[in-house]
Amino acid sequence: NNSGLAFSLNVCIEVARGNYIARMDCDDYSHPKRLEKQLNFLKCHPDIDWCGTNAFLFDENGIWGARKMKPTPSLNDFYKYSPYIHPSVMYRKSVFVNEGGYSESKDTLRCEDYEIFMRLHYRGLHGANIQENLISYRETKETYARRTWSTRVDECRLRYRNYKEMNMMSFKACLAIIRPIVGGLVPRSVIKWKKHRDGKI
């Protein structure tokens, strides 16, 4: 049975024996030096609990762009989006031992990364993004069709719950809460055009 991404990740985390855990999706590609560079980064920055990277973007026609992430995100960055590329991240395993794993709640379906990164920031942990393209991240026309209205509504609920619990409610938060719904009203062709424009090398 398919028990979902969060459940599968938590099982893998539980059986992992190393001190570091790296994420990866089966349809993406890692730079040959990615793990080495992330491991060295975490060893040199003991105050950082996990690190992601920038990424090349590719589809069936090859690399078409790149995504640059903020070097040192903060909790306020979550008003807009998750400031980490999930499959690029390497964690210290102690993060999960001390703070718990991915939420398996229905409300976090397709936004497991947003929930865990926001929760960790709120609890005082710190992440960073290495300013190199160390993965190639698949983003195709099917990417824009994955999110159903049900998952968009669930993301709105998640944002509302988190902002409220973390004392982040404001006008800015209200705009962020409805962002997934507004995004669903925009034609996919427009979203794809904007992503290609923003990610163009």
Distance CA 42, CA 44 (A): 5
Sorted by where each begins, the domain ranges of the chain are 21-199
Alpha helix positions (H), 16-92: 34-44
End-to-end CA distance of the chain: 40
**Residue 73 confidence (pLDDT):** 97
Task: Compute CA distances 84 → 20, 90, 126, 128, 189, whole Å.
Answer: 17, 11, 12, 8, 24
Q: What are the tens digits of pLDDT across the range 50-88? A: 999 999 999 888 998 999 999 999 999 999 889 999 999
Q: Report phi then psi at 93, rounded to 5.
A: -65, -25
Strands 90-92 and 50-59: antiparallel
Stretch 81-108: mean pLDDT, rounded?
Answer: 90
pLDDT level of residue 146 (50, 70, 90 thresholds): low
Q: Is the pTM of this model over 0.75?
A: yes
**176 and 79 in contact (C-beta within 8 Å)?**
yes
Q: Give, as one character, the DSSP assignment of residue 79.
A: G
> 135 vs 143, which has greater pLDDT?
135
User: Which of 160-164, 167-171, 196-200 shows the lowest per-residue confidence on average (mean pLDDT)?
Assistant: 196-200
Distance CA 98, CA 101 (A): 9
Distance CA 152, CA 164 (A): 18
Stretch 132-136: mean pLDDT, rounded?
Answer: 97
User: Token digits for 52?
Assistant: 């992601």
pLDDT, the chain, mean: 88
**Residue 76 confidence (pLDDT):** 93
**Residue 30 confidence (pLDDT):** 95
Percentage above 90 pLDDT, the chain: 54
**Residue 187 confidence (pLDDT):** 74
Residue 19: pLDDT above 80? Answer: yes
Residue 201: pLDDT above 60? Answer: no
Stretch 147-176: mean pLDDT, rounded?
Answer: 89
Distance CA 156, CA 177 (A): 5
**Residue 140 confidence (pLDDT):** 74
Residue 89: pLDDT above 80? Answer: yes
